[in-house]
Structure 1
């Protein structure tokens, strides 16, 4: 019996965040996917504490990202390529935000004051409108000056 694609896909986000203990442990295991490691070995090679690794590995096993046999944790060989791609995606996103320019409007304090509200009851003056009012005022002053200098 055919199964709808919506039933086969998951909308759950990847449960590993950049720069987290889960990320460090999973990255280590993916890189060394040919071997299984004890929590002590993972802790020694990642620089994380054994307590952190114990909790982290339990979370990774619960999320189905890591397998456990006896006291060794490893990556299922069928998941290596997918996990490698997921970790690369996380790295790419982190790198993208690290090189993002700091001169964009949203990086400045009070940027919201420069954006008009879409609520008609809360319409605010934008910088373009303030600038055009200043230009109009200068133009009117010049016209008045010219009219006063050259009366008819």
Structure 2
């Protein structure tokens, strides 16, 4: 029996967001994926304060983004490429939104008067948004 594509796709958003301790720790571990680090070492090498790094790492472990062995956190080597691509993708979206103007600087005056309305008789009239 065919399976709907919606059931096969993973449309869960990436579980960490930029400008968070989780994002910073994961980014650090991915960039240094050939090593494992203790919470204190992660704190020393990032901007994450020592009091919150344990909680941060626990959350990353719960989200299955990092591994832990004997108090050392690391990224599974099999997942490095995928995580690197996801982090780059999230970074690109952030840069895109930062570059987008907050106003309608590119809109031409009177543009709203040129938008046609849906007319039940099949004609198209222009409408003004008041």
Structure-1-length-normalised TM-score:
0.65
Paired with 1:6 and 1:100, the residues of 2 have a C-alpha distance of 31
- Counterparts of 1:27 and 1:67 in 2: how far apart (Å)? 14
Which 4+ stretches in 1 moved above 6 angstroms?
A: none
Q: What is the rounded CA distance, in whole Å, between the counterparts of 2:53 and 2:46 in structure 1?
A: 9
Structure 1 gaps, min length 5: 106-113, 119-123, 128-152
**Which residue of structure 1 aligns with residue 81 of structure 2?**
81
**What is residue 52 of structure 1 aligned with on the other side?**
52
Q: Pick the structure with more strand per residue.
A: 2
The 1:3/1:39 distance shift into structure 2, 3 A limit, reads farther
Shift of the alpha carbon at 1:54?
0.5
C-alpha RMSD of matched pairs (Å): 3.0
Which residue of 2 is the match for residue 126 of structure 1? 129
Paired residue total: 115
Q: What is aligned with 2:70?
A: 70
C-alpha separation in 1, matches of 2:28 and 2:2:
36
CA 1:3/1:40 → structure 2, altered by over 3 Å: closer, same or farther? Answer: farther
Does the C-alpha gap of structure 1 residues 41 and 104 become closer, same or farther in structure 2, counting only changes over 3 Å?
A: same
State the shift of 1:47 in Å: 1.9
Structure 2's unaligned 5+ residue stretches are 106-111, 118-126
The two structures have a TM-score, normalised by structure 2, of 0.75
Q: Deviations over 1:120-151 (max 9, x none)?
A: xxxx9536xxxxxxxxxxxxxxxxxxxxxxxx
